[in-house]
Amino acid sequence: MKNVKFEDLGSIEYKDAWDYQEKTFAEYLKIKAQNRDLPIDKQIEIEGKVLFCEHPHVYTLGKSGEQNNLLINDEFLNKIHASYFKTNRGGDITYHGPGQIVGYPLIDLERFNLQVKQYIANLEQSIILTLKEFGIESERLEGATGVWLDVGTNKVRKICAIGVKASRFITMHGFAFNVNTNLEYFNHINPCGFVDKGVTSMEKELGKRMDIEKVKDVLKEKMEEVFGMNLR
């Protein structure tokens, strides 16, 4: 088990969390560059961080996304107390808001012997195993990242979105897991660019408001199990 620092940032503005990620990301990239010129026994190990947080209402667009997947104008954004950011992660548009666990792992994939594709699969698996603990069956959807319910039916819906960035095997950005999320905010976008698939939350599926701290604890355990990390 590899030690990784865990931080719960609580409720934090999207830009503040992004700035914090960028600062940490830059520090890790600097260490990677320095390590290239050092013998193995002199290299600095990047411990890494996993950040959990919640954001006030915000829409974020990935670098490959289409702005027309945001279906509202600035005036309406103000009316629903939401902000909008173009980001440098992969993926299209998504929504973050209260009642949603947003996870930002900043780790060195080489330390875990992972390629980006397997890293994303591990994030998905961590969410799938967490949902199973609460009696919700979920799975992957071919050709689309994230975690989905009722795949292969006309009721397919997403419960967790994933969009990451990696450079020199250092990761940032991550996942948005709908626990007690106000799903009405998804009506104003084509989530992740899809026009024919719905979104859901644990609260909607189970018909009751969830203890988000309990869900976080289970998710931490599952991430530790899947990645072979000790979140401390």
**53 annotated active-site:** no
State how far the Cα of 211 lies from the Cα of 118, in Å rounded to an integer.
30
Matching residue, tokens 């250092």: 170
State how far the Cα of 188 lies from the Cα of 172, in Å rounded to an integer.
26
> How many angstroms separate the first and last alpha carbons of the chain?
11
Q: Which two tokens stand for residue 73?
A: 């104008």
Pick the closest to residue 185 from 68, 71, 53 (CA basis): 71
Q: Which of 192, 202, 212, 219 is catalytic?
A: 192
State how far the Cα of 123 lies from the Cα of 187, in Å rounded to an integer.
26
Positions annotated as catalytic residues are 192
